[in-house]
Amino acid sequence: MILPTRVPGIRTESSNGVVSYYDPGNDQIVIDEKALDDSGVILREFTHHFLVADDQGAKLTDANLSAIESFVAFYFPASFLDQDKIGEIASKKMFDSAKPFIDFGTDAKYPAYAKLRPEERPFRGAEILGAIFWSIRQLLGQAAADKLILSAWREFSQAKSDHSPDAFLRIYLKSFESGENAAHKGDVQRIYRDHGAPA
């Protein structure tokens, strides 16, 4: 994984129903004017830039990998802002809705992920995974949890096959097999099981 050496451009648009997106071909964050006050939304698009800049977004043509990347792109802004919800301001301004775009406090369990349609996984799937890893963040603290998510993403995104959420969970759990994290392996496995994920 190559870290980006530049900051992406930002382009605003009038409302057409699309809140924001990262355009890797032009290295731009495109955001609706009504969402400019929502730092979580802007940070999410910047995180896309960080995660896929090394191949200009080519890896996102894999729908399974793209769905996990979407979860990671939600996780880091949420962790940085220390809030388990993203998009509350933009949702209110654009859609007059009190529901955030993403809520890691969901009570949906991991088996529900497999029942989602592919187009639902970047958001609803991100919530389901987010609930697991937000619980782990509460256990380990922000710094340790963020480091492990990034490490798991690096390995996962470079894999030539199996970009399933199960594979991401396995890669992440490997971090607890030895070293300073080993003492938390049982707790992490318990969190997996509590959320219905294979441990």
Q: Write the pLDDT tens digit of every residue in 47-99.
A: 988 888 666 556 677 889 999 999 999 999 999 999 999 999 999 999 999 99
C-alpha dihedral, 165 to 114 to 51 to 84, nearest 10° = -100
What is the CA angle 170-76-146, rounded to 5?
55
Kindly tell me the burial class for residue 25, based on how many C-beta atoms sit within 10 Å of its own C-beta (0-12, 13-18, 19 or more). Answer: exposed
**Mean of the per-residue pLDDT values of the chain:** 91
> By the 8 A CB rule, do 142 and 149 touch?
no
Tell the residue number behind the tokens 């009190």, with chain if given: 98
CA distances from 117 to 29, 71, 191 (A): 26, 15, 25
pLDDT beyond 70 at 5: no
Q: What is the pLDDT of residue 14?
A: 80
pLDDT beyond 90 at 145: yes
Closest by alpha carbon to 21, among 47, 1, 56? 47
Name the residue type at position 184. Answer: H
Q: Write the pLDDT tens digit of every residue in 171-190.
A: 999 999 998 899 999 999 99
